[in-house]
């Protein structure tokens, strides 16, 4: 009797292998053969799940985006600006694996490899980050902690862009963790001062 394979489990296994291969060889240099080898599969089996490297890359990035958004879900509404600043800080300080994901995304999109579908997924991710920040800001506004004239939707997206810039800067250019944390703290303080009543 043939072995029954759970399709979603196999796709997750291949995505993990793709991430490992992309990190080891770089996205541009990685071949589907490298990914199949990393996953312990025949190349033909790999193509049953992903028809091309581009399709696998899109699935991998969508998986990362979903994981990053899931990390925000369940965070409590901030009680005050101090809580809000602490949450923003935790979003801006990535672990080593998250930094690798950011570097890989930047490599893919900056090299012109990024497809319209990948750029669309990235835009949806940014929209979700902006909406999350806007929701956090709205709760602070309702509680009277920030100025009432603040446009929380615009400010939420602005904050998401600022954090995104910090995260990209950290992943690509800053090797000194203490220096990066000072940059994050100063940026958050500047942002919070603009919100205060």
Three-class SS of 93-155: CCCHHHHHHHHHHHHHHHCCCCCHHHHHHHHHHHHHHHHHHHHHHHHHHHCCCCCCCCCHHHH
Contact 107, 27 (CB under 8 A): yes
The candidate with the shortest Cα–Cα distance to 195, out of 113, 114, 82, is: 82
Q: How many whole angstroms separate alpha carbon 183 and alpha carbon 190?
A: 11
Give the tens place of pLDDT for each residue, 118-161.
888 888 989 999 999 999 999 999 999 999 999 999 999 999 99
Report the percent of the chain where pLDDT is more than 90: 50
Give the residue-averaged pLDDT of 102-119.
73
pLDDT over threshold 90, residue 11: yes
The Cα 169–Cα 60 span in angstroms is: 22
C-alpha triplet 158, 162, 165: angle, nearest 5°:
140
Mean per-residue pLDDT of the chain: 87
Task: Measure the CA–CA gap between 141 and 149, rounded to whole angstroms.
Answer: 9
Q: Could you tell me the pTM of the whole model?
A: 0.82
């Amino acid at each position: 009797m043939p072995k029954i394979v759970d399709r979603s489990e196999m796709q997750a296994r291949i995505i993990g292998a793709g991430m490992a291969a992309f990190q080891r060889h770089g996205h541009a240099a990685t071949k589907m053969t490298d990914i199949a080898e990393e996953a312990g599969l025949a190349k033909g089996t790999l193509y049953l799940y992903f028809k091309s490297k581009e399709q696998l890359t899109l699935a991998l990035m969508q998986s990362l985006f979903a994981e990053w958004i899931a990390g925000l879900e369940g965070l409590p509404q901030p009680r005050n600006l101090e809580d809000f600043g602490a949450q923003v800080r935790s979003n801006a300080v990535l672990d080593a694996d998250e930094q690798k994901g950011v570097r890989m995304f930047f490599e893919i999109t900056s090299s012109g490899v990024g497809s319209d579908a990948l750029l669309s997924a990235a835009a949806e991710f940014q929209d979700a980050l902006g909406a999350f920040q806007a929701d956090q800001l709205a709760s602070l506004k309702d509680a009277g902690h920030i100025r009432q004239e603040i446009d929380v939707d615009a400010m939420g997206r602005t904050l998401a862009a600022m954090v995104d810039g910090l995260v990209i800067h950290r992943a690509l250019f800053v090797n000194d963790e203490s220096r990066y944390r000072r940059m994050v703290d100063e940026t958050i303080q500047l942002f919070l001062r603009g919100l205060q009543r």
